[in-house]
Amino acid sequence: MLLKTKDGVWRSGWKATMYMKIKPLDLNGRHPDEYPRVERTKSAMRAWEFSSFGHRSACIVQRFLPSCYLPLVTFFLVLLMPTMSPMAIKAAPQAGETYQDQIKAWRQRRVAALKADDGWLTVAGLFWLKEGNNSVGTDAANDIVLPARSAPGRVGVFKFANGATTFEAAPDVSVAIGGKPTTRAAMVPDAAGPPTVLAINDLTMFVIKRGDRYGIRLRDKSSEMRKHFTELRYFPVREEYRVRAKWVPYDPPKSIAVPNILGQTEMTPCPGRAEFTLQGQKLSLEPVSEGDVLFFIFKDQTSGKETYPPGRFLYADLPKDGEVVLDFNKAVNPPCAFTPFATCPLPPEQNRLLVRVEAGELRYGH
Protein backbone atom coordinates (compact mmCIF):
# COMPACT_ATOMS: atom_id res chain seq x y z
CA MET A 1 0.00 0.00 0.00
CA LEU A 2 1.46 3.34 -1.07
CA LEU A 3 0.47 6.56 0.69
CA LYS A 4 1.46 10.09 -0.17
CA THR A 5 1.73 12.08 3.05
CA LYS A 6 1.59 15.80 3.68
CA ASP A 7 5.29 16.27 3.17
CA GLY A 8 4.91 15.00 -0.41
CA VAL A 9 6.84 11.77 0.15
CA TRP A 10 5.52 8.39 -1.00
CA ARG A 11 5.70 5.83 1.81
CA SER A 12 4.50 2.28 2.30
CA GLY A 13 3.65 0.00 5.22
CA TRP A 14 4.50 1.13 8.74
CA LYS A 15 6.30 4.29 7.56
CA ALA A 16 3.05 5.58 6.09
CA THR A 17 1.13 4.95 9.30
CA MET A 18 3.53 7.03 11.36
CA TYR A 19 2.48 10.09 9.35
CA MET A 20 -1.26 9.53 9.73
CA LYS A 21 -3.44 11.74 11.93
CA ILE A 22 -6.66 10.15 13.09
CA LYS A 23 -9.58 12.59 13.17
CA PRO A 24 -13.28 11.89 13.76
CA LEU A 25 -15.49 11.53 10.70
CA ASP A 26 -18.53 13.69 10.24
CA LEU A 27 -22.01 12.16 10.06
CA ASN A 28 -21.61 11.40 6.36
CA GLY A 29 -18.35 9.50 6.81
CA ARG A 30 -16.36 12.21 5.07
CA HIS A 31 -12.59 12.24 5.06
CA PRO A 32 -11.23 15.28 6.99
CA ASP A 33 -9.02 17.72 5.10
CA GLU A 34 -6.18 17.27 7.58
CA TYR A 35 -5.96 13.50 6.96
CA PRO A 36 -3.14 12.67 4.52
CA ARG A 37 -4.57 12.40 1.02
CA VAL A 38 -4.45 8.87 -0.38
CA GLU A 39 -3.42 8.92 -4.02
CA ARG A 40 -5.59 6.52 -6.03
CA THR A 41 -7.06 6.10 -9.49
CA LYS A 42 -10.10 8.18 -10.47
CA SER A 43 -11.60 5.43 -12.62
CA ALA A 44 -15.19 4.30 -12.51
CA MET A 45 -14.03 1.49 -10.35
CA ARG A 46 -12.91 3.99 -7.61
CA ALA A 47 -12.23 2.41 -4.22
CA TRP A 48 -11.87 4.26 -0.94
CA GLU A 49 -8.34 3.41 0.25
CA PHE A 50 -9.57 2.60 3.74
CA SER A 51 -12.79 0.74 4.57
CA SER A 52 -15.46 2.31 6.74
CA PHE A 53 -14.53 -0.28 9.36
CA GLY A 54 -11.00 1.08 9.42
CA HIS A 55 -12.18 4.68 9.77
CA ARG A 56 -14.63 3.94 12.55
CA SER A 57 -12.08 1.81 14.38
CA ALA A 58 -9.69 4.73 14.21
CA CYS A 59 -12.31 7.02 15.72
CA ILE A 60 -12.86 4.58 18.60
CA VAL A 61 -9.11 4.41 19.16
CA GLN A 62 -8.88 8.19 19.36
CA ARG A 63 -11.70 8.44 21.87
CA PHE A 64 -10.59 5.79 24.34
CA LEU A 65 -6.80 5.55 24.11
CA PRO A 66 -4.09 8.09 24.97
CA SER A 67 -2.59 9.79 21.93
CA CYS A 68 0.82 8.17 22.51
CA TYR A 69 -0.67 4.79 21.51
CA LEU A 70 -2.19 6.02 18.23
CA PRO A 71 0.74 5.28 15.88
CA LEU A 72 1.06 1.69 17.09
CA VAL A 73 -2.67 0.93 16.97
CA THR A 74 -2.99 2.64 13.60
CA PHE A 75 -0.23 0.37 12.31
CA PHE A 76 -2.25 -2.74 13.19
CA LEU A 77 -5.43 -1.26 11.68
CA VAL A 78 -3.63 -0.66 8.39
CA LEU A 79 -2.38 -4.24 8.43
CA LEU A 80 -5.98 -5.45 8.65
CA MET A 81 -7.38 -3.23 5.91
CA PRO A 82 -6.17 -5.20 2.85
CA THR A 83 -8.29 -8.15 3.96
CA MET A 84 -11.39 -5.96 3.84
CA SER A 85 -10.98 -4.56 0.33
CA PRO A 86 -13.99 -5.30 -1.90
CA MET A 87 -11.88 -4.91 -5.02
CA ALA A 88 -9.82 -8.06 -4.73
CA ILE A 89 -12.73 -10.52 -4.12
CA LYS A 90 -10.26 -12.65 -2.20
CA ALA A 91 -10.65 -15.69 -0.01
CA ALA A 92 -8.06 -17.92 1.63
CA PRO A 93 -7.55 -21.20 -0.30
CA GLN A 94 -8.91 -24.29 1.44
CA ALA A 95 -6.82 -27.38 2.17
CA GLY A 96 -6.86 -29.81 -0.74
CA GLU A 97 -8.38 -27.22 -3.06
CA THR A 98 -7.18 -27.37 -6.67
CA TYR A 99 -6.48 -24.32 -8.83
CA GLN A 100 -9.67 -25.08 -10.78
CA ASP A 101 -11.61 -25.08 -7.50
CA GLN A 102 -10.11 -21.74 -6.53
CA ILE A 103 -11.13 -20.14 -9.83
CA LYS A 104 -14.63 -21.59 -9.54
CA ALA A 105 -15.03 -20.14 -6.04
CA TRP A 106 -13.60 -16.81 -7.18
CA ARG A 107 -16.11 -16.65 -10.02
CA GLN A 108 -18.96 -17.28 -7.60
CA ARG A 109 -17.80 -14.36 -5.45
CA ARG A 110 -17.47 -12.20 -8.55
CA VAL A 111 -21.10 -12.88 -9.57
CA ALA A 112 -22.32 -12.29 -6.01
CA ALA A 113 -20.57 -8.90 -6.00
CA LEU A 114 -22.23 -7.93 -9.29
CA LYS A 115 -25.66 -8.91 -7.95
CA ALA A 116 -25.23 -7.19 -4.58
CA ASP A 117 -27.25 -4.12 -3.56
CA ASP A 118 -24.19 -1.98 -4.25
CA GLY A 119 -23.08 -3.97 -7.31
CA TRP A 120 -22.90 -2.63 -10.84
CA LEU A 121 -26.20 -4.28 -11.83
CA THR A 122 -28.05 -1.80 -9.60
CA VAL A 123 -26.56 1.28 -11.32
CA ALA A 124 -29.67 2.54 -13.11
CA GLY A 125 -28.93 6.13 -14.07
CA LEU A 126 -26.41 8.92 -14.48
CA PHE A 127 -27.57 12.53 -14.68
CA TRP A 128 -25.09 15.35 -15.29
CA LEU A 129 -25.84 18.39 -13.17
CA LYS A 130 -26.41 21.85 -14.59
CA GLU A 131 -25.81 25.07 -12.69
CA GLY A 132 -28.83 25.96 -10.57
CA ASN A 133 -31.74 23.72 -9.64
CA ASN A 134 -31.98 20.10 -10.78
CA SER A 135 -35.39 18.71 -9.83
CA VAL A 136 -35.72 14.98 -9.12
CA GLY A 137 -38.69 12.61 -8.99
CA THR A 138 -40.73 10.19 -11.08
CA ASP A 139 -42.70 12.87 -12.94
CA ALA A 140 -41.47 13.31 -16.50
CA ALA A 141 -41.19 17.07 -16.00
CA ASN A 142 -38.24 16.65 -13.61
CA ASP A 143 -34.65 17.21 -14.69
CA ILE A 144 -33.75 13.87 -13.09
CA VAL A 145 -36.49 11.35 -13.84
CA LEU A 146 -36.56 8.32 -11.54
CA PRO A 147 -38.00 4.91 -12.48
CA ALA A 148 -41.80 4.78 -12.52
CA ARG A 149 -43.46 4.04 -9.17
CA SER A 150 -40.10 3.98 -7.38
CA ALA A 151 -40.59 7.29 -5.53
CA PRO A 152 -42.92 10.32 -5.32
CA GLY A 153 -43.49 12.44 -8.39
CA ARG A 154 -41.37 15.19 -6.87
CA VAL A 155 -38.67 14.07 -4.42
CA GLY A 156 -36.83 17.36 -4.18
CA VAL A 157 -34.11 19.36 -5.86
CA PHE A 158 -30.32 19.18 -6.19
CA LYS A 159 -28.97 22.73 -6.13
CA PHE A 160 -25.64 22.89 -7.93
CA ALA A 161 -23.36 25.94 -7.89
CA ASN A 162 -19.61 26.26 -8.44
CA GLY A 163 -18.94 22.55 -7.91
CA ALA A 164 -21.01 22.27 -4.71
CA THR A 165 -24.28 20.35 -4.50
CA THR A 166 -27.04 20.67 -1.90
CA PHE A 167 -30.18 18.54 -1.74
CA GLU A 168 -33.50 19.90 -0.49
CA ALA A 169 -36.43 17.51 -0.05
CA ALA A 170 -39.93 18.34 -1.23
CA PRO A 171 -42.55 18.80 1.52
CA ASP A 172 -43.77 15.56 3.11
CA VAL A 173 -41.15 13.46 1.30
CA SER A 174 -39.13 11.04 3.44
CA VAL A 175 -35.48 10.63 2.45
CA ALA A 176 -32.52 9.51 4.54
CA ILE A 177 -28.75 9.78 4.75
CA GLY A 178 -26.95 7.13 6.75
CA GLY A 179 -30.31 5.80 7.93
CA LYS A 180 -31.33 9.17 9.42
CA PRO A 181 -34.20 11.23 7.96
CA THR A 182 -33.17 14.51 6.40
CA THR A 183 -34.76 17.44 4.60
CA ARG A 184 -31.60 19.24 3.50
CA ALA A 185 -28.00 18.10 3.08
CA ALA A 186 -24.70 19.05 1.47
CA MET A 187 -23.85 16.30 -1.03
CA VAL A 188 -20.15 15.47 -0.86
CA PRO A 189 -18.95 13.97 -4.18
CA ASP A 190 -16.87 10.82 -4.55
CA ALA A 191 -13.71 12.68 -5.61
CA ALA A 192 -11.92 12.60 -2.25
CA GLY A 193 -13.56 9.69 -0.43
CA PRO A 194 -16.98 8.19 0.30
CA PRO A 195 -19.79 10.34 -1.12
CA THR A 196 -22.93 11.42 0.70
CA VAL A 197 -25.59 8.82 -0.17
CA LEU A 198 -29.25 9.83 -0.29
CA ALA A 199 -31.78 6.98 0.07
CA ILE A 200 -35.48 6.71 -0.70
CA ASN A 201 -37.24 3.33 -0.93
CA ASP A 202 -35.10 1.05 -3.14
CA LEU A 203 -33.18 3.98 -4.62
CA THR A 204 -29.92 5.63 -3.63
CA MET A 205 -28.35 8.72 -5.20
CA PHE A 206 -24.94 10.32 -4.82
CA VAL A 207 -22.70 12.82 -6.59
CA ILE A 208 -19.81 11.67 -8.77
CA LYS A 209 -17.06 13.88 -10.19
CA ARG A 210 -15.39 13.03 -13.49
CA GLY A 211 -12.88 15.59 -14.64
CA ASP A 212 -14.69 18.91 -14.35
CA ARG A 213 -18.16 17.34 -14.59
CA TYR A 214 -20.49 16.50 -11.71
CA GLY A 215 -23.41 14.10 -11.92
CA ILE A 216 -25.95 12.16 -9.88
CA ARG A 217 -25.45 8.40 -9.96
CA LEU A 218 -28.62 6.42 -9.31
CA ARG A 219 -28.77 2.92 -7.87
CA ASP A 220 -31.96 0.89 -7.90
CA LYS A 221 -32.20 -2.40 -6.00
CA SER A 222 -35.07 -3.34 -8.32
CA SER A 223 -33.28 -2.44 -11.58
CA GLU A 224 -34.15 -4.32 -14.75
CA MET A 225 -30.47 -5.16 -15.30
CA ARG A 226 -30.35 -6.89 -11.94
CA LYS A 227 -33.61 -8.75 -12.54
CA HIS A 228 -32.58 -9.98 -15.97
CA PHE A 229 -28.92 -10.70 -15.34
CA THR A 230 -27.65 -13.68 -17.31
CA GLU A 231 -24.74 -15.75 -16.10
CA LEU A 232 -21.19 -14.88 -17.09
CA ARG A 233 -19.32 -16.96 -19.66
CA TYR A 234 -15.59 -17.69 -19.63
CA PHE A 235 -12.68 -19.09 -21.56
CA PRO A 236 -11.61 -22.50 -20.19
CA VAL A 237 -9.36 -22.19 -17.13
CA ARG A 238 -5.71 -22.63 -18.14
CA GLU A 239 -2.94 -22.41 -15.58
CA GLU A 240 -0.45 -21.09 -18.16
CA TYR A 241 -2.37 -17.81 -18.00
CA ARG A 242 -1.39 -17.41 -14.36
CA VAL A 243 1.84 -15.54 -14.97
CA ARG A 244 4.61 -14.53 -12.59
CA ALA A 245 5.76 -11.14 -13.85
CA LYS A 246 8.89 -9.19 -12.96
CA TRP A 247 7.95 -6.03 -11.07
CA VAL A 248 9.84 -2.86 -12.05
CA PRO A 249 8.94 -0.18 -9.48
CA TYR A 250 8.81 3.51 -10.29
CA ASP A 251 10.33 5.58 -7.50
CA PRO A 252 8.63 7.94 -7.27
CA PRO A 253 5.50 6.69 -9.06
CA LYS A 254 5.03 8.32 -12.44
CA SER A 255 1.78 9.56 -13.94
CA ILE A 256 0.23 7.84 -16.94
CA ALA A 257 -2.56 9.07 -19.21
CA VAL A 258 -5.75 7.02 -18.70
CA PRO A 259 -8.64 7.83 -21.08
CA ASN A 260 -12.28 7.09 -20.30
CA ILE A 261 -15.51 6.60 -22.22
CA LEU A 262 -16.50 10.22 -21.60
CA GLY A 263 -13.68 11.35 -23.86
CA GLN A 264 -11.62 12.61 -20.94
CA THR A 265 -8.01 11.74 -20.12
CA GLU A 266 -6.74 11.79 -16.56
CA MET A 267 -3.14 11.66 -15.40
CA THR A 268 -3.08 8.86 -12.82
CA PRO A 269 -0.23 7.67 -10.54
CA CYS A 270 1.39 4.43 -11.70
CA PRO A 271 3.62 2.62 -9.15
CA GLY A 272 5.55 0.46 -11.60
CA ARG A 273 5.55 -1.95 -14.54
CA ALA A 274 4.91 -5.71 -14.81
CA GLU A 275 7.14 -7.48 -17.35
CA PHE A 276 6.31 -11.01 -18.48
CA THR A 277 6.39 -13.49 -21.35
CA LEU A 278 3.21 -14.88 -22.93
CA GLN A 279 3.01 -17.02 -26.04
CA GLY A 280 6.72 -16.48 -26.58
CA GLN A 281 6.41 -12.69 -26.63
CA LYS A 282 7.91 -10.27 -24.11
CA LEU A 283 5.15 -8.01 -22.83
CA SER A 284 4.55 -5.42 -20.15
CA LEU A 285 1.59 -3.75 -18.47
CA GLU A 286 1.39 -0.60 -16.36
CA PRO A 287 -1.22 -0.54 -13.55
CA VAL A 288 -2.66 2.17 -11.39
CA SER A 289 -2.99 1.79 -7.62
CA GLU A 290 -6.49 0.85 -6.46
CA GLY A 291 -6.46 0.55 -2.70
CA ASP A 292 -4.55 -2.57 -1.65
CA VAL A 293 -4.33 -4.05 -5.16
CA LEU A 294 -2.89 -3.18 -8.56
CA PHE A 295 -5.45 -2.31 -11.22
CA PHE A 296 -4.58 -3.22 -14.83
CA ILE A 297 -6.70 -1.90 -17.72
CA PHE A 298 -5.72 -3.85 -20.83
CA LYS A 299 -6.77 -4.79 -24.33
CA ASP A 300 -5.68 -7.80 -26.38
CA GLN A 301 -6.38 -9.47 -29.70
CA THR A 302 -9.62 -11.07 -28.44
CA SER A 303 -11.11 -7.61 -27.75
CA GLY A 304 -14.08 -6.95 -30.01
CA LYS A 305 -14.29 -10.63 -30.88
CA GLU A 306 -14.74 -13.04 -27.98
CA THR A 307 -14.30 -10.34 -25.32
CA TYR A 308 -15.62 -6.86 -24.57
CA PRO A 309 -14.43 -4.49 -27.36
CA PRO A 310 -12.82 -1.67 -25.31
CA GLY A 311 -10.86 -4.09 -23.12
CA ARG A 312 -10.92 -5.81 -19.74
CA PHE A 313 -9.83 -5.25 -16.14
CA LEU A 314 -7.42 -7.31 -14.07
CA TYR A 315 -6.62 -6.92 -10.38
CA ALA A 316 -3.44 -8.27 -8.81
CA ASP A 317 -1.97 -8.39 -5.32
CA LEU A 318 0.78 -5.94 -4.53
CA PRO A 319 4.29 -7.06 -5.59
CA LYS A 320 6.26 -9.41 -3.36
CA ASP A 321 9.97 -10.22 -3.68
CA GLY A 322 10.18 -8.34 -6.98
CA GLU A 323 7.30 -10.25 -8.60
CA VAL A 324 3.60 -9.73 -9.23
CA VAL A 325 1.18 -12.53 -10.15
CA LEU A 326 -1.03 -11.76 -13.16
CA ASP A 327 -3.85 -14.30 -13.27
CA PHE A 328 -5.60 -13.65 -16.56
CA ASN A 329 -8.17 -16.32 -15.67
CA LYS A 330 -9.50 -13.53 -13.42
CA ALA A 331 -9.70 -10.93 -16.21
CA VAL A 332 -13.16 -9.35 -16.01
CA ASN A 333 -15.54 -7.23 -18.04
CA PRO A 334 -15.60 -3.56 -16.99
CA PRO A 335 -18.80 -2.11 -15.49
CA CYS A 336 -19.71 -0.61 -18.87
CA ALA A 337 -20.37 -4.14 -20.14
CA PHE A 338 -23.28 -4.39 -17.69
CA THR A 339 -24.69 -0.86 -17.46
CA PRO A 340 -24.68 2.15 -19.80
CA PHE A 341 -24.39 4.44 -16.77
CA ALA A 342 -20.80 3.64 -15.78
CA THR A 343 -17.84 5.91 -16.64
CA CYS A 344 -15.21 3.30 -17.38
CA PRO A 345 -11.52 3.97 -17.94
CA LEU A 346 -10.02 2.66 -21.18
CA PRO A 347 -6.70 0.88 -21.71
CA PRO A 348 -3.71 3.21 -21.99
CA GLU A 349 -1.80 2.91 -25.25
CA GLN A 350 1.01 0.90 -23.62
CA ASN A 351 -1.47 -1.69 -22.28
CA ARG A 352 -2.74 -2.84 -25.69
CA LEU A 353 -1.27 -6.31 -26.12
CA LEU A 354 -0.50 -7.83 -29.53
CA VAL A 355 -1.40 -11.36 -28.38
CA ARG A 356 -4.64 -13.22 -27.77
CA VAL A 357 -5.35 -13.60 -24.05
CA GLU A 358 -7.74 -16.55 -24.14
CA ALA A 359 -8.55 -16.46 -20.46
CA GLY A 360 -11.08 -14.83 -18.15
CA GLU A 361 -14.54 -13.49 -18.90
CA LEU A 362 -16.05 -13.55 -22.36
CA ARG A 363 -18.16 -10.73 -23.75
CA TYR A 364 -21.32 -10.35 -21.65
CA GLY A 365 -24.67 -11.05 -23.29
CA HIS A 366 -23.30 -12.45 -26.53
Least confident span in 5-9, 107-111, 306-310: 5-9
- 2-53 pLDDT, tens digit each: 444 444 444 444 333 333 333 333 333 333 222 222 333 333 333 332 333 3
Share of the chain above pLDDT 90, in %: 71
Task: Report pLDDT for 47.
Answer: 37
Handedness of CA 317, 320, 324, 327 (dihedral sign): negative
CA atoms within 13 A on the CB side of 85: 26
**177 has which bridge partners?**
180, 198
Closest CA to 122 of 342, 349, 352, 308: 342
Average pLDDT over residues 179-202: 95
pLDDT bucket at 192, cuts 50 / 70 / 90: confident
Beta carbons of 183 and 169 less than 8 angstroms apart: yes
Average pLDDT over residues 125-134: 98
Question: What is the spatial distance between Cα 59 and Cα 79, in angstroms, rounded to a whole number?
Answer: 17
pLDDT bucket at 290, cuts 50 / 70 / 90: confident
Mean pLDDT (the chain, rounded): 81
pTM of the model: 0.74
Listed in sequence order, the residues at least 6 apart from 34 whose beta carbon sits closer than 8 Å to its beta carbon are 21, 23
The more confidently predicted of residues 85 and 131 is 131
Average pLDDT over residues 264-286: 96
Beta carbons of 357 and 308 less than 8 angstroms apart: no
350 DSSP 8-state letter: G
Task: Report pLDDT for 93.
Answer: 62
Task: Report pLDDT for 365.
Answer: 80
- What are the residue ranges spanned by the domains of the chain? 2-38+48-84, 120-220, 231-351
Would the pLDDT of 74 be above 60? no
Amino acid at 250: Y
120 DSSP 8-state letter: G
Would the pLDDT of 196 be above 80? yes
Least confident span in 36-45, 288-297, 329-338: 36-45
Task: Report pLDDT for 90.
Answer: 59
With H, G, I as helix, E, B as strand and everything else as coil, classify residue 43.
Answer: coil
Question: What is the spatial distance between Cα 334 and Cα 123, in angstroms, rounded to a whole number?
Answer: 13
Helices (H) and strands (E) in the chain, counts: 5, 20
351 DSSP 8-state letter: G
Question: What is the spatial distance between Cα 252 and Cα 207, in angstroms, rounded to a whole number?
Answer: 32
Would the pLDDT of 97 be above 90? no
Share of the chain above pLDDT 70, in %: 74
pLDDT bucket at 96, cuts 50 / 70 / 90: confident
Average pLDDT over residues 207-235: 96
In terms of CATH architecture, what is 120-220? Sandwich (2.60)
Axis crossing angle, helix 70-80 with helix 52-64, rounded to the nearest 10: 160
Kindly report the backbone phi and psi dihedral angles of residue 80, in degrees, each rounded to the nearest multiple of 5, phi listed first: -75, -30
Strand locations in the chain (E): 2-4, 10-12, 123-128, 132-137, 144-145, 156-161, 164-169, 175-177, 180-182, 184-187, 198-200, 203-210, 213-220, 242-259, 265-278, 281-285, 288-290, 293-298, 312-317, 323-327
Would the pLDDT of 72 be above 90? no
